[in-house]
């Protein structure tokens, strides 16, 4: 009986649309402001994370003041939709002890975007990559950042953190390059 149920679940599983069909996809955003935030920041970096936990559990945890953790955005793995948990120009508590390009304490100069679960142990759906890439492009435009300003928690906290996976990071960077190179240019 268990084998039959597993086969049925496998057949019914939702297949993700191919990346090339996502170009015009707009992801929903919900705002749930975490109590875990600090003062104003001027972002110089975008830090990609994974939460290691499930989406709803991550959001619930970040909403608790006692967690002392927050990301600016958390991506829903079922849809690519986002929950904004800290305003872009406010300090979130996502980077911890960190250093990159001569700067330390990256909470004070970065926006944190988190995938749910452990990206080293699961395949990240194309729509999650697309959603993250589009949010990065938005932030790059808003704060005048280059693609080289996108880093991972592992890069800024080597030996201490393993998120997000190198594969996930590379897919986000590649997707940004594709979206930027094929976006229509506007003549002013």
The predicted model scores a pTM of: 0.87
Q: What is the structure's pLDDT at 188?
A: 41
For residue 172 the two structure tokens come to 């986000």
Q: Give me the helix-helix angle, 166-182 and 126-143, nearest 10°.
A: 60
Rounded to 10 degrees, the C-alpha dihedral 110/62/174/28 comes to: -110
Domains present along the chain, CATH in parentheses:
25-181 (3.40.80.10)
* pLDDT above 50 (res 6): no
Residue 6, Cβ neighbours under 10 Å: how many? 10
User: Which residue in 159, 157, 169 sits closest to 106, CA to CA?
Assistant: 157
- Can you give the pLDDT at residue 9? 42
Q: Which residues of 87-108 are buried (b: 16+ CB within 10 A; e: fewer)?
A: eeebbbbbbeebebeeeeebbb
pLDDT of residue 1: 46
Q: Which range has the worst mean pLDDT, 12-26, 84-98, 124-138, 172-186?
A: 12-26
Classified as helix, coil or strand, 29 is: strand
Mean pLDDT (the chain, rounded): 89
Q: 2 or 51: which carries more pLDDT confidence? A: 51
Give me the phi and psi of 86, to 5 degrees please.
Answer: -145, 140
Q: Cβ distance 50 to 162 under 8 Å?
A: no
Mapped onto helix, strand or coil, the DSSP state of residue 184 is coil
What letter would DSSP give residue 119?
A: T
What mean pLDDT do residues 21-26 have?
Answer: 87
User: What is the reported pLDDT for 3?
Assistant: 57
pLDDT interval class at 23 (50, 70, 90): confident
């Amino acid at each position: 009986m268990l084998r039959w149920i597993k086969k049925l679940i496998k057949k019914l599983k939702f297949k993700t649309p191919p990346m090339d069909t996502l170009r015009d996809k707009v992801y929903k955003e919900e705002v749930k402001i975490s109590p875990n935030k600090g003062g104003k920041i001027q972002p110089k970096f975008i830090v990609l994370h994974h939460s290691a936990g499930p989406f709803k559990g991550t959001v619930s945890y970040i909403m608790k003041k006692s967690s002392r953790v927050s990301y600016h955005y958390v991506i829903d793995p079922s849809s690519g939709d986002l929950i904004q948990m800290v305003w872009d120009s406010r300090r979130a508590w996502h980077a911890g002890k960190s250093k990159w390009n001569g700067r330390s304490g990256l909470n004070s100069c970065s926006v944190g975007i988190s995938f749910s679960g452990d990206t080293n142990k699961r395949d990240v759906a194309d729509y999650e990559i697309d959603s993250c890439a589009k949010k990065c492009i938005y932030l790059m435009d808003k704060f005048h950042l280059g693609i080289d300003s996108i880093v991972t928690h592992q890069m800024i906290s080597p030996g201490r953190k393993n998120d997000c996976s190198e594969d996930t990071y590379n897919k986000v960077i590649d997707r940004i390059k594709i979206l930027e190179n094929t976006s229509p240019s506007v003549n002013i």
